[in-house]
Amino acid sequence: MFNFMKKKTKPETPEQQAQRDSAVDKALLSYHVGDASIATMVTGLERNVHELTLDLRLPHSSDPEVIQQELGQLLRPHGIEVIHMNVRLPAPPKASSASLPKSSATSMPKTTDAMAGSTQSQAARSDAEPAITKAAPTQASLAAHPRIRHIIVVASGKGGVGKSTTTVNIALALQKLGNRVGVLDADIYGPSMPTMLGVADVKPQLENEQFVPVEAHGLAMLSIGSLLDGENTPVAWRGPKATGALMQLYNQTNWPQLDYLVIDMPPGTGDIQLTLAQRIPVTGAVIVTTPQHVALLDAQKGIEMFNKTSIPVLGVVENMALHTCSNCQHTEAIFGKGGGEIIAEQYHVPLLGQLPLASGIRAQVDKGEPSVLADDEFANYYINIANNIETNIDKFAKPVDDKRIF
């Protein structure tokens, strides 16, 4: 069970979390081991609500247990209850291999409860050994969400290819096929789902200390944009804060029973994508691209990233494939032609659909009534894509862990 449930406090807003993270950063910068700041010894840092995991390369003369206790006392006022430390110490100077312990190559990560005092003996402290490197979680090790059957991420290698417009219409199309669907806006820096669904001014409610998704035309939707003061408020956060916000939106939300949770990803292959791959059980990814050569190159990088993180690619959507002039009805492939087919064939994945470059699609999402909702002339394109997703998705489903508690 999450710490915010234990503490019986309201979930932090992303702004409050950012303030707390900033205070923790300043406290860490102020802590020194000998004459050196501990910041110079941190090789990895991960936040999880009220827990902090530090990968440290410490001087041989340092005492990891003492450091752990002192950090616990230092960070407790800033809301950190548990500190995990993965410590690596250099070999003692002039020591031969025969004098090293048998387990010198590995040791266990150290964990402390910042709310409690140390119970470690002096003998245990003197036996501190270099830590093993903690392997990153994999998709195979992640249990499925007990209330969500499939999690689909919609991603692109670059911005400006119509990914968010495609996401919202795919979600509505899956719903139109009779599914219970939710949308999570993971584009922390450029959230657009509230505007596209016409709920930009609606704030999520709190119930049992969890966010209640905003109801948008039957979809259960949550976005960082729903928590900001206004549409012009920038999210100027570094990577750890942005990934922390994503996990908070996923974990601290009371998602209803869903057949699909569709996640609108930010463009690229950065921190948020990697965090999602390691901590959210994804059924599969949909790649959105345009036929343009540059866009295809970036789409390939996205597919390669999902392949390396063991997330199946459900297929490719080629957006802006053809444009028909509204005056003369001449049809032209403005961004090139056949790119989606080429990349689908190259990676042996389906071409889920090809979408036109049409001002009507843009106009509908701008006014909060996407094409599928408006049932306009472009709605069937997205219905066909949703049908293609449903055709093969069950073979990628993850087993549900009914004992998991959120």
pLDDT tens digits, 187-220: 888 888 999 999 988 999 988 878 999 999 999 9
Answer whether residue 351 shows pLDDT above 80: yes
Mean pLDDT, range 317-337, rounded to an integer: 73
Residue 75 phi/psi, 5-degree rounding, is: -95, -10
Considering the chain, what percentage of its residues have pLDDT values greater than 70? Answer: 79
Q: Which residue has the tokens 């944009």?
A: 225
Answer whether residue 112 shows pLDDT above 90: no
Supply the DSSP symbol for 171. Answer: H
Lowest mean pLDDT among 184-188, 267-271, 301-305, 384-388: 267-271
Instruction: Report the b/e string of 99-127 with b at 16+ CB within 10 A.
Output: eeeeeeeebeebebebeeeeebeeeeeee
Nearest to 179 by CA among 259, 257, 256, 283: 259
Considering the chain, what percentage of its residues have pLDDT values greater than 90? Answer: 28
Pairing of strands 82-88, 51-57: parallel
**pLDDT reported for residue 217:** 94
Q: Name 218's bridge partners.
A: none
| Distance from C-alpha of 14 to C-alpha of 52, rounded to nearest angstrom | 17
pLDDT category at 95 given cuts 50, 70, 90 is very low
**pLDDT reported for residue 398:** 67
Mean pLDDT, range 11-28, rounded to an integer: 78
**pLDDT reported for residue 61:** 72
| Distance from C-alpha of 290 to C-alpha of 337, rounded to nearest angstrom | 9
Answer whether residue 115 shows pLDDT above 80: no
Mean pLDDT, range 32-36, rounded to an integer: 80
Pairing of strands 205-207, 210-212: antiparallel
Q: Name 112's bridge partners.
A: 83
Answer whether residue 100 shows pLDDT above 50: no
Answer whether residue 1 shows pLDDT above 80: no
Lowest mean pLDDT among 94-98, 172-176, 212-216, 322-326: 94-98
Q: What stretches of 99-192 show up as alpha helix (H) in DSSP?
A: 122-126, 163-176
| Distance from C-alpha of 264 to C-alpha of 250, rounded to nearest angstrom | 12
The secondary structure of 278-309 as a DSSP string is HHS---EEEEEE-SSHHHHHHHHHHHHHHHHT
Residue type, 237: W
Supply the DSSP symbol for 400. Answer: B
**pLDDT reported for residue 375:** 93
| Distance from C-alpha of 357 to C-alpha of 378, rounded to nearest angstrom | 10
| Distance from C-alpha of 223 to C-alpha of 154, rounded to nearest angstrom | 15
pLDDT in tens, 117-158: 433 433 444 444 444 445 667 888 888 898 999 999 999 877
Measured CA to CA in angstroms, residue 67 lies from 33, 50, 81, 404 at distances of 8, 19, 15, 34
Mean pLDDT, range 104-122, rounded to an integer: 41
> Angle 359-366/163-176 helices, nearest 10 degrees?
80
Mean pLDDT estimate for the chain: 79
Four-CA torsion 164, 168, 173, 174, nearest 10 degrees: 100
pLDDT category at 97 given cuts 50, 70, 90 is very low
pLDDT category at 313 given cuts 50, 70, 90 is very high
Q: Are 296 and 288 a contacting pair, CB within 8 Å? A: no
Lowest mean pLDDT among 72-76, 87-91, 210-214, 337-341: 87-91
Which residues does 200 contact at the CB level (< 8 Å), separation at least 6?
194, 225, 231, 368
Lowest mean pLDDT among 144-153, 333-342, 351-360: 333-342
Nearest to 24 by CA among 76, 91, 92: 76
Answer whether residue 230 shows pLDDT above 90: no
Which residues does 245 contact at the CB level (< 8 Å), separation at least 6?
14, 17, 18, 188, 224, 235, 237
User: Which is more confident, 228 or 390?
Assistant: 390
Nearest to 171 by CA among 157, 189, 140, 192: 192
User: Which is more confident, 250 or 63?
Assistant: 250
| Distance from C-alpha of 38 to C-alpha of 279, rounded to nearest angstrom | 27
Helix (H) or strand (E) holding 365: helix 359-366
Determine how many CB atoms are found less than 10 A away from the CB of residue 131: 21
Supply the DSSP symbol for 253. Answer: B
**pLDDT reported for residue 117:** 40
The architecture in CATH of the region 139-396 reads 3-Layer(aba) Sandwich (3.40)
Mean pLDDT, range 26-33, rounded to an integer: 83
Supply the DSSP symbol for 367. Answer: T
Domain ranges for the chain? 31-126, 139-396
Measured CA to CA in angstroms, residue 220 lies from 63, 173, 178, 194, 267 at distances of 50, 14, 15, 11, 23
**pLDDT reported for residue 139:** 85
Answer whether residue 49 shows pLDDT above 80: no
